[in-house]
Structure 1
């Protein structure tokens, strides 16, 4: 069931709200950027994400195919969300679950996770994934 969550980067300059269903799978990926910054996204459809404040504090990083936008706060460096522009559901937002406010440790421990082998551009789990 969709619920509206509030969230922010660490310093609070970037604030957003997102309509998410945390009973649906989130994702952990072993691609070069997700592995390095431990990104743990839940999916919000394009109309289910609203940047409330901090657009001026965001810096964008593009790499490889340059299809996906990776945004970081210029002050604290936290990646609160990213934008997938070429996905099976069209344009979507990957919202960093660790940036959501008011989610208990118990709730976080129950969020389902799908592991993907982004390192090899495959949607299947990689051979090793417990470290993700």
Structure 2
């Protein structure tokens, strides 16, 4: 299925295809504060609908994940990084996906604090 997603004000928007089986709730210092639910896909499957520089970047700790957020409304829309095999991945904040029933999506809790 094809999905569209965006920040609150629409300055950062993208689309992608996939099947949601679950979302990930991480308890690291960043994810716990922002309350995002994440779903991962290969980075090349995420198609930006707005210019790449519309989203600001933030990194912390080991600086391996590019947390992408809107500098206007502050919403974290997605992140970029590498999986353990070195493949480029995107982590979509499913709370930004249009028309998605979050109550129907199983949540996997991940201990990001332990990393």
Pick from 107, 116, 124 the counterpart of residue 110 of structure 2: 116
Compute the RMSD of aligned alpha carbons. Answer: 1.5
TM-score with structure 2 length normalisation? Answer: 0.91
Equivalent residue for 2:81?
84
1:9 aligns with 2:3: no
Higher mean displacement: 64-73 or 49-58? 49-58
When the two structures are aligned, how many residues end up with a matched partner?
115
Summarize the Cα distance change of 1:43–1:89 in structure 2 as closer, same or farther, 3 Å threshold: farther
Extract unaligned runs of 5+ from structure 1: 122-132
Q: What is the CA–CA distance in structure 1 between the aligned matches of 2:57 and 2:13, rounded to whole Å?
A: 16
Picking from 26, 44, 49, the partner of 1:47 is: 44
Return the structure number with greater relative CO, CA threshold 8 A, min gap 6.
Answer: 2
TM-score, normalised to structure 1, is 0.80
Are 1:20 and 1:42, in contact at CA under 8 Å, matched by a contact in 2? no
Q: Does 1:62 align with 2:56?
A: no
